[in-house]
Structure 1
Amino acid sequence: MPYINIKVTDENVTSEQKRALIQGATALVVEVLNKEPKTTFVLIDEVNTDNWGIGYEQVSEIRQCIE
């Protein structure tokens, strides 16, 4: 029973995009590991950019510098 956990920042990920992630991740596990799709679980966690860091900085700070 595969369990896939996808973490993304909470920056306007649409329901359609989440559906595509679930379908794509499931298809990959079916293809590579020959697992049953109906027993493959996919969880998407949306993480606030203040809670996600790259190097020494929060993603929210990095994004402010880019804009």
Structure 2
Amino acid sequence: MASFSYSPLLKLTYANDVMKDQLEEIWQNGLKIQDDRKNNIQSYPKWKSIKATVTHDPNNFGKAYLVQRIEFSI
């Protein structure tokens, strides 16, 4: 199972393919915003807020969180 590292201290793994796709969408949106800002293009996040329900990843306890659910607010 792959994971998404948002910082050296925060690693997210996913419970299923839907969570994988949603995490990928969040990741790609963040990369686009970073790229736009490097090119002096003003851009904003796609969502007003993102709420995730996570548990400790039993396969990486203490090192990663397992994303169970994601809610987007526009």
Instruction: With the length of structure 2 as denominator, give the TM-score of the two structures.
Output: 0.30
Larger radius of gyration: 1
- The answer to which structure has the higher helix fraction is 1
- The answer to which structure has the higher strand fraction is 2
Instruction: With the length of structure 1 as denominator, give the TM-score of the two structures.
Output: 0.31
Highest RCO, 1 vs 2 (Cα 8 Å, sep ≥ 6)? 1
